[in-house]
Structure 1
Amino acid sequence: MTIAFLNGDYLPLAEARISPMDRGFLFGDGIYEVIPTLQGKPIGFNAHMARMRQGLEMLEISSPFPADYWRAVVNSLLTKNNELLQSESVGIYIQISRGADATRSHAYPDDLTPTLFAFAFATPPPPVPDASKVKGLHVALGEDKRWQRCNIKSTSLLGNVMHFEQGKREGKQEIILFNRHKEISEASSSNVFIVSNGVIKTPPLDHQILPGITRKLVIECLVKEGILVEETVLPLAELLAAEEVWLTSSSKEIAPVIEIEGKPVGNGKVGKIWQQAIEAFNQHKFNF
C-alpha cells in the first residue's frame, strides 16, 4: 500500500482526494518536481527546491513552506514506502497547485490555499557506468509544437505528452524536438547534449527549454573534472552529424542515444565521452 502526502497528512495513495474545483485539475495551474533518490539519498535536492521556488514565483503561487519542510516530506515518504517499493532507486513526485476555488475563473483568485501533494515511486536503476554494457536509446525527431513557456515546470504537460506518444507510436523511446529554425530545443521529457568534434554541447536555456536539474548537475560535474560544456544553439544538422548524443533527466540520468530516425549516431555505439560524463556524474551527483 503506497503512502502519499496530501496537505500535511500521510495516507494511502488510493484514498488521496482533491476537489474537482482544484485549479491544478481544471487548468493545470501548478508546478511539480521529481526528485530522484538513490539508496535513500536525494540527488540535486537543493537545485530542485530552487527551481520549485522559481516556478511558484513565476506563477504567483504563494507557498510558505521552506526546503527543510519538503526534505522532511521526502524522508518520510521514503521511510513509509520502503518495504513496498523495495528499490534502491526511488522518485519523489511533488506537486503544488494554486488550490481549489468555489467557481471556475481564468483569473487568479485571491487568498487560495495551495494544494500540496507528493508520493514515492520506484524508478529504473541508474545506467550501468560501462559503455560496453549500457543500452543506447533509439529516438525520433519532431517539430516542437508546445507553448512558449517551457522553462516553467508546469503540470500543463499536454504538449509533452503528445510528442512522447508520437515517438512511442514510431517505436522509439523518446523524441528530440526542433523549432521552426531547425534548431534543437529538448526532448519530450529530457534535455539534449551532443558531442561534436570532441566538444560537448547543449542548447542554451531560454523559454523553450526546461532548466533541467540533471542537465545542470551534468554540466557542473563535468566542470569539476575540468571538462567544459558549450551552451550554444544546436542546428538539427549538427545533431544528426554528432559523434555522440545524450538525453538527461532525473529518471534517465545520462542516457546515450545510438540511433535517430533509424540512422546510427556516430558509429552506432555508446561513446567514450559518455563514459567520462557518467563517471563524473556518479562521483559528484550527491554534492548538490
Structure 2
Amino acid sequence: MIPGVPGDSQAYLNGEFLRLQDAKISVLDRGFIFGDGVYEVVPVYEGHPFRMAEHLARLERSLAAIRIESPFDRAGWHGVVQGLIDRSLTASCVVYLQVTRGVAKRDHGFPTERVAPTVFGMTSPFTRPGADVREQGVSLVSIPDERWLHCDIKSVSLLGNVLAKQRAADQGADEVVQFRDGMLSEGATCNVWVAAGGKLLAPPKNHLVLEGIRYGLMAELAAEAGIPFEMRPITRDEVENADELMVSSATREILPALKLDGRPVGAGRAGPVYGRLRQGYDARIAALLGKPGSASM
C-alpha cells in the first residue's frame, strides 16, 4: 500500500489503466535517474477539466523544449485524461500527467537508440478553496530565487522548488515569493500577482517564470472587470509596498496573500482587485458546469 493513498486509486502507465499501487517503472527510467521529463496538472470540476487546451499546449511546449516527441496528439491526450477522470474516486480531482525520456543506459547524453517515452498519469482529490481560506488568505516569506534558468519548462526536476517550499514551512508560512536580482519571479508552487493603484501587475512571461495557465486567465478576468493589467518587471520594493498581493495555481485558483515576512500586506485583508477577479473566476467555473455564477462556490 502507498501511505495516504486509497488502495483502489487508479493510474495510467504506458497504455494501461491500473491500480496506482501496481504502477511500476524501471530504476533506469531517465525521469528517476536524471529528472529528465516534464509534467502537467489539470484541475477537474465535477468531471469537467478546466482550460484543457491551455494545459495541453503548455505540455507540448515543455516536451518540445527538452526535445521529447509528444507521445500523443491532442485527441490521444484527451483520451488519457478522460480515462483517468472516469476512474477517479472523486468527480472533482486533479489530473497529473508526466512524460519522461524513457528507459536507457545511464548516460547524461540522450539515448542514441530510439527509446519510447514513459507516460504516466494519476488523479488526486480536489476541493476548491473554501470561504475561510479565501478570507484568511495565505502568508508569504521572501527569499532569493536560486533555481535554474529555464523555469518556463514544467520540468519534473523540482528540487529548487521543493527546497523553497520547505523554507516557507520552516518559517510557518504557506508559500515563498522569490526574487532574482531584485525582481519578482514567482512562488515555489504558484504565480504571484501585485495590485497597486488599482492596476494588476505580473512579471514578464520569460525563462525565469513558469507561465501558469492562470496567466492568460487573469488577463482575461482583469479586462472583463475593467482592471488595467501590466506585464512588466516588478521590483522588490513594489511587492513590499503593494496594495494587494495574490497567488494563483491550479489548486489554489486565486487567493489573497495577506502577510509578507510577518507584516500585513496593504490593509491586511482581501482587497477590491482580488474581489473582482475572484468573482470572475467563480463565474468561469460556474459556466464550465452550466450553473449560474456564484461568488460563494
> Structure 1: which 5+ residue stretches go unaligned?
none
Deviates more, 1:274-283 or 1:44-53: 274-283
Indicate the residue corresponding to 2:92 in structure 1. 89
Whole-Å separation in 2 of the counterparts to 1:68 and 1:173? 37
Whole-Å separation in 1 of the counterparts to 2:102 and 2:273? 46
Indicate the residue corresponding to 1:151 in structure 2. 152
Indicate the residue corresponding to 1:279 in structure 2. 279
Whole-Å separation in 1 of the counterparts to 2:204 and 2:173? 25
Whole-Å separation in 1 of the counterparts to 2:159 and 2:99? 18
Shift of 1:124: 3.0
Indicate the residue corresponding to 1:163 in structure 2. 164
Indicate the residue corresponding to 1:18 in structure 2. 25
Report SS of the residue matched to 1:20.
Answer: coil
Indicate the residue corresponding to 1:118 in structure 2. 121
Whole-Å separation in 1 of the counterparts to 2:224 and 2:268? 29
Whole-Å separation in 2 of the counterparts to 1:72 and 1:135? 38
2:57 pairs with 1:50: yes
Normalising by structure 2, report the TM-score: 0.90
Whole-Å separation in 1 of the counterparts to 2:179 and 2:260? 13
Indicate the residue corresponding to 1:139 in structure 2. 140
Normalising by structure 1, report the TM-score: 0.93
Q: Is the 8 A contact 1:127 1:253 kept in 2?
A: no
Shift of 1:66: 1.2
Shift of 1:36: 0.4
Whole-Å separation in 2 of the counterparts to 1:60 and 1:224? 38
Indicate the residue corresponding to 2:191 in structure 1. 191
Whole-Å separation in 2 of the counterparts to 1:139 and 1:13? 34
2:269 counterpart letter in structure 1: K
Post-superposition CA distance 1:33-90 (Å, at most 9, x none): 0000111111110000001111111110012401221212222212212xx33xx531
Whole-Å separation in 1 of the counterparts to 2:125 and 2:177? 25
> What RMSD in Å do the two structures reach over aligned CA positions?
1.6
Q: Is the 8 A contact 2:198 2:228 kept in 1?
A: no
Whole-Å separation in 1 of the counterparts to 2:34 and 2:202? 32
Report SS of the residue matched to 1:194.
Answer: strand
Report SS of the residue matched to 1:31.
Answer: strand
Deviates more, 1:229-238 or 1:218-227: 218-227
Shift of 1:226: 3.7
1:169-184 mapped onto 2 (5 Å cutoff):
169-180=170-181, 182-184=182-184
Indicate the residue corresponding to 1:60 in structure 2. 67
Shift of 1:280: 1.3
Q: What percentage of residue pairs aligned between the two structures are identical?
A: 34
Whole-Å separation in 2 of the counterparts to 1:64 and 1:206? 26
1:194 counterpart letter in structure 2: V
Shift of 1:175: 0.4
Shift of 1:127: 4.5
Q: Is the 8 A contact 2:212 2:249 kept in 1?
A: yes
Whole-Å separation in 2 of the counterparts to 1:216 and 1:274? 16
Whole-Å separation in 1 of the counterparts to 2:95 and 2:244? 30
Shift of 1:238: 0.6
Q: Is the 8 A contact 1:222 1:281 kept in 2?
A: no
Post-superposition CA distance 1:232-251 (Å, at most 9, x none): 11101111111110001111
Whole-Å separation in 2 of the counterparts to 1:22 and 1:216? 34
Indicate the residue corresponding to 2:79 in structure 1. 72
Shift of 1:221: 2.7
Report SS of the residue matched to 2:135.
Answer: coil
Shift of 1:255: 1.2
Q: Is the 8 A contact 1:33 1:93 kept in 2?
A: yes
Shift of 1:261: 0.6
Indicate the residue corresponding to 1:233 in structure 2. 233
Whole-Å separation in 2 of the counterparts to 1:220 and 1:266? 24
In the TM superposition, structure 1's runs of 4+ consecutive aligned residues that sit over 4 Å from their partners are none
Indicate the residue corresponding to 1:216 in structure 2. 216
Report SS of the residue matched to 1:91.
Answer: strand
